[in-house]
Structure 1
Amino acid sequence: MSEQERTKQVGDFARLDLDRVRRRGYPEAIYCESKTLEQISAIAAAVKDSAQTTLFTRLLDGHAEAALKVLPGAFHDPGARFLAWPPEAPEPSGVDILVVCAGTSDLPVAREAMHTARYLGRSVDLLADVGVAGIHRLLAHEQRLKAAGVVVVVAGMDGALPSVVGGLVSAPVVAVPTSVGYGAGSGGVAPLLTMLNSCAPGVGVVNIDNGYGAGHLAAQIAAR
């Protein structure tokens, strides 16, 4: 396969990776946060021409509208800042993934993880607002936790929830620190360090607010 067949040039600022599905088994993703509206529109047009599944993450104001003008009907979750084309997710395979969210303020990152895993071909469910400040809320769903093949745990503040979940389940836990919290949380550094120092084995940690990375990793684990 030639370089021209593996990539699609978009202006002088982007090259779509048309070979990613064949090479890695998972679709291209466009990180939108630093891109202009014009760049998003041009990339969306190239995506439509290529007829490949593509995820748009970290959409800013106006990004979704620019993409939807070119890709009408695309799946869009404003809260998760996430858009997917085409709108239909693939048929799920592999083991089930459960995304667990400590607080309502962590939901945007949790939903980004959930949508990412779903569009990578996994069955995903969401359990929200079950943080350690009211541990009974989590324990009420113990059977649901134990039934999952992979658990993604999203938490800010003290970041303690992944250790608790890791002590309850046999499945791998993908921990996601968020930037939710007061000043001493240092924009997510405090929960990141807590998760890295988890005493529960089987807990892996992705970067702060990286719902896409967590969903992708969980989908890869669930496939195996």
Structure 2
Amino acid sequence: MNAIKSGSEFLDDRYDDLAGSNNDPDASLQALLSAVAAGKIAPDDARDRLRHFDFEPVDDFAKVDHHRSLRTGFPEAIWGPGKTPEQIVAIFRTMSERVPVALATRIEPEVFQQLQVRLPELHYHPTARICVLQTADPPQYPGAIGILTAGTVDIPVAEEAAVTAELSGFEVQRLWDVGVAGIHRLLSHRTLLDRVDVAIVVAGMEGALPSVVAGMAACPVIAVPTSVGYGTSFGGIAPLLTMLNSCATGIGVMNVDNGFGAAMLAGKILRTAARLHACEGDTKRQRSQ
């Protein structure tokens, strides 16, 4: 048997036609199980392939979770700080063999320059500080995510959320610098809140904007405090506490500066809603039969 191939082509040359869509782990797993059921692959061979299907060691410093997207809807992401460029590159290469989109967060420009020497195909989003190695288009999902900031200085955290959400397959609508110090700026864009299905609201200072948005919008609001502010902001603790103590309903609060986590939560909300909608449609069709 040949060595396991990259991406969905984990099947050897004799079974290339059994592989799913490019770098789709769900389709790849289904293809493998179907091949076993059809007698085209021996169970022992399938067992050997599955040993590397769930996680894969990268030298002695990482274990890439190949099943993350199957369980949660999005592949594992690389946290950049604390890793050497060599480690990040090795993890990227391992991930790109199995998933259509591999990303690393909190990558500074000087680090990206070192990464690009080794991986010229890397794409960099400088404001979001996200590196992306994309081998195929991600699956697209229904639903729109609105991302708002209180101030211009909050944009890097918001862009981390926006880029992550777009790479997850969702439509994103951006609205920057609409904080409560000039509430008319938000009110002039109120129709955006009616169009989106989830709102991510990023704010530093006192962190009041998520409460205002949640009081105006019917959709779930994900509040992200930032570390922007003067001394008694305590690096984002003040807006975090404001958001946690909001009297407006329907707010979930992320950790300080966690735009990536906000996008992940928004994606889970929308994918769950899509599944429920599909189940509802199936139920109606069954009742009509």
TM-score normalised over the length of structure 2: 0.73
CA RMSD of superposed structures (Å): 1.7
**Structure 2 residue 123 is the aligned partner of structure 1 residue 75:** yes
**Matched AA of 1:137:** R
Aligned-residue sequence identity (percent) comes to 47
Correspondence 1:145-160 to 2 at 5 A: 145-160=193-208
In 2, the alpha carbon distance for the partners of 1:69 and 1:171 equals 43
- Determine if contact 1:44/1:67 at 8 Å carries over to the other structure: no
Is the partner of 2:56 in helix, strand or coil? strand
Change (3 A) 1:135 1:114: same
In 2, the alpha carbon distance for the partners of 1:100 and 1:3 equals 43
In 1, the alpha carbon distance for the partners of 2:123 and 2:214 equals 32
For residues 165-216 of structure 1, the C-alpha deviation after alignment (integer angstroms, 9 at most, x for no partner) is 0000000000000000111000000000000001100011010000000011
Please point out which of 253, 262, 267 is paired with 1:219: 267
- Determine if contact 2:150/2:177 at 8 Å carries over to the other structure: yes
In 1, the alpha carbon distance for the partners of 2:96 and 2:251 equals 38
**Structure 2 residue 163 is the aligned partner of structure 1 residue 115:** yes
Is the partner of 1:195 in helix, strand or coil? helix
In 2, the alpha carbon distance for the partners of 1:9 and 1:29 equals 15
Q: Which has the higher contact order (CA 8 A, sep 6+)?
A: 1
2:143 aligned partner: 95
Correspondence 1:191-206 to 2 at 5 A: 191-206=239-254
Computing the radius of gyration from Cα coordinates, the structure with the larger value is: 2
For residues 5-33 of structure 1, the C-alpha deviation after alignment (integer angstroms, 9 at most, x for no partner) is 21121121111111112222211201111
**Matched AA of 2:163:** H
2:105 aligned partner: 57
- Determine if contact 2:151/2:178 at 8 Å carries over to the other structure: yes
Further displaced range: 6-15 or 132-141: 6-15
Total equivalences in the alignment: 224
**Matched AA of 1:171:** C
2:232 aligned partner: 184
In 1, the alpha carbon distance for the partners of 2:159 and 2:263 equals 9
2:69 aligned partner: 21
In 1, the alpha carbon distance for the partners of 2:234 and 2:110 equals 29
In 1, the alpha carbon distance for the partners of 2:227 and 2:253 equals 14
- Determine if contact 1:55/1:82 at 8 Å carries over to the other structure: yes
Correspondence 1:118-137 to 2 at 5 A: 118-137=166-185
**Matched AA of 1:83:** C
Please state how far the C-alpha of 1:150 moved relative to its aligned partner.
Answer: 0.4
- Determine if contact 1:152/1:214 at 8 Å carries over to the other structure: yes
- Determine if contact 1:44/1:70 at 8 Å carries over to the other structure: no
In 2, the alpha carbon distance for the partners of 1:199 and 1:58 equals 32
In 2, the alpha carbon distance for the partners of 1:88 and 1:133 equals 43
**Structure 2 residue 215 is the aligned partner of structure 1 residue 167:** yes
1:208 aligned partner: 256
TM-score normalised over the length of structure 1: 0.93
Change (3 A) 1:88 1:126: farther
Change (3 A) 1:74 1:199: same
- Structure 1: gaps spanning 5 or more residues: none
Please state how far the C-alpha of 1:110 moved relative to its aligned partner.
Answer: 0.1
